[in-house]
């Protein structure tokens, strides 16, 4: 299917309105795995319509069909090839979930997904007793998963600075392992709030844990009958904070968001306070307002919220704020190499993102705001949405492959139209 580009323009330099965000992809995908492992005892409320969540839900439903049709005459071959496309969370979670289901399955994804490493998680699952082979390249999808899981160990070590999704995938299945699981996290833990989110949701579903020093232990135990309510997506909210930060005036209301969120990306309220954005929680949501304010903060550590990196870096670049960023170690293995993508696109407004080891600094000395700009998105939803707020400053912004946002925020372009953006197909 041909990619459809869009042209963004903005009427005026204010942002006012109410935006109803989709459910959190991160929360929803965890809830779906918990629901599947619980045998239906756990229900999921406020399902996200993000493509990644829809994909995972469909795969889990298909696997149930495989189990229920196993002894029938129906051909289940198509159900044994699981293609999750670009859904990284689904790839990690299913790598841990599927070995426990007793079916022979080949798990694959998009071309980019087949370039994203999975070896650390596969090694952990093999140690626990899973039979998993690589189909093409060692350490990368596709992988072939065999049935007959028998737990061989209940203690594993895993690096904490690669991807928190590996850790979450293992924690989600831990209570379903006959011998439970004791996990030692080696080194620094990247994206700690995502691990805390996982444990909090498991606790809501009746699963207890202990976390002492760098060891998390979950015993074999049953799920409780409950409902997990998926909160609106704070990652999606971050783009509205960016729009507010780049506007002269902003009065936005985002219903459903709370100050006590499980989502680590709720830290966007603190980050954007540096740019004059005030967050007030009332009326079962959050109100954003813009106040003129000098920017003093020079260093942003994004280790615990890497999905906010593109948003915050683009805002700093657009405002000419020469900030320094740390905690970006995982960005090179995301949907694209997000560091390289940021460097390439920011160069179009004369801004350099300079890499020195694990520290990144903006050089805005040659920043200029063009009349027109083309944004490449690299099959990355966050590149599209992080750069879209530039239409507040750039008269005509063309964004490549508008449909890429369906991965996490399908209604993004329609929501922009609610606050005086014009969204038109590029000719």
Give the angle subtended at the CA of 401 by the CAs of 61 and 55, to the nearest 5°.
5
Contacts of 389 (CB under 8 A, 6+ apart): 239, 242, 243, 245, 246, 314, 315, 318
Of 52, 233, 265, 307, the catalytic one is 307
265 in catalytic set = no
CB-CB neighbours of 381 under 10 Å: 25
Residues in the chain: 427
Given the DSSP bridges, would you call strands 352-356 and 155-159 parallel, antiparallel or unpaired?
A: unpaired
d(CA 191, CA 251): 30
Contacts of 409 (CB under 8 A, 6+ apart): 21, 22, 50, 233, 236, 239, 381, 385
- In Å, how far from its chain's centre is CA 126? 26
Q: Which long-range contacts (CB under 8 A, 24 or more apart) does 277-280 make?
A: 277/241, 277/244, 277/245, 277/250
HSE (side-chain half, CA atoms, 13 Å) at 42: 24
Structure tokens at 408: 């996490």
d(CA 365, CA 314): 15
How far are the Cα atoms of 143, 278, 290, 422 from residue 119, in angstroms, in the given order? 10, 43, 45, 44
- In Å, how far from its chain's centre is CA 299? 23
d(CA 235, CA 408): 9
Q: Which positions are catalytic?
A: 307
């Amino acid at each position: 299917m041909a990619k459809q580009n869009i042209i963004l323009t903005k009427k005026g330099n204010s942002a006012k309105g109410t935006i109803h965000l989709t459910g959190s992809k991160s929360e929803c995908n965890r809830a779906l795995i918990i629901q599947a492992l619980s045998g239906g005892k756990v229900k999921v409320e406020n399902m996200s319509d993000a493509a990644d969540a829809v994909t995972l839900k469909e795969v889990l439903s298909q696997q149930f069909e495989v189990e229920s049709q196993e002894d029938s005459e129906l051909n289940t071959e198509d159900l044994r090839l699981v293609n999750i496309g670009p859904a990284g969370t689904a790839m990690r979670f299913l790598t841990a979930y599927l070995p426990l289901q007793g079916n022979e399955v080949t798990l694959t994804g998009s071309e980019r997904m087949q370039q994203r490493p999975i070896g650390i998680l596969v090694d952990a699952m093999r140690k626990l007793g899973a039979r998993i082979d690589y189909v093409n390249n060692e350490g990368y999808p596709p992988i072939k998963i065999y049935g007959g899981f028998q737990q061989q160990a209940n203690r594993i070590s895993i690096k904490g600075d690669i991807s928190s999704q590996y850790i979450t995938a293992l924690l989600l299945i831990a209570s379903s392992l006959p011998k439970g699981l004791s996990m030692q996290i080696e080194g620094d833990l990247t994206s700690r709030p995502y691990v805390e989110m996982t444990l909090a949701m498991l606790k809501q579903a009746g699963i207890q844990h202990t976390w002492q020093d760098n060891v998390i232990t979950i015993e074999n135990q049953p799920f409780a009958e409950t409902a997990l309510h998926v909160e609106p997506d704070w990652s999606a909210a971050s783009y509205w904070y960016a729009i507010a930060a780049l506007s002269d005036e902003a009065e936005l209301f985002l219903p459903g968001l709370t100050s006590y969120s499980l989502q680590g990306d709720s830290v966007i309220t603190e980050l954007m306070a540096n740019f004059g954005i005030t967050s007030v929680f009332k009326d079962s949501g959050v109100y954003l307002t813009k106040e003129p304010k000098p920017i003093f903060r020079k260093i942003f550590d994004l280790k615990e919220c890497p999905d906010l990196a593109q948003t915050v870096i683009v805002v700093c670049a657009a405002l000419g704020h020469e900030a320094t960023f740390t905690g970006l170690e995982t960005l090179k293995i995301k949907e694209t190499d997000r560091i390289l993508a940021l460097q390439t696109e920011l160069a179009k407004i004369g801004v350099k993102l300079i890499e020195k080891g694990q520290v990144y600094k903006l050089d805005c000395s040659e920043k200029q705001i063009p009349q027109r700009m083309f944004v490449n998105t690299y099959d990355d939803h966050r590149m599209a949405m992080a750069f879209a707020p530039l239409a507040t400053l750039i008269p005509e912004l063309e964004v490549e492959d508008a449909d890429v946002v369906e991965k996490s925020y399908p209604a993004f372009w329609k929501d922009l139209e609610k606050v005086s953006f014009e969204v038109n197909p590029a000719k």
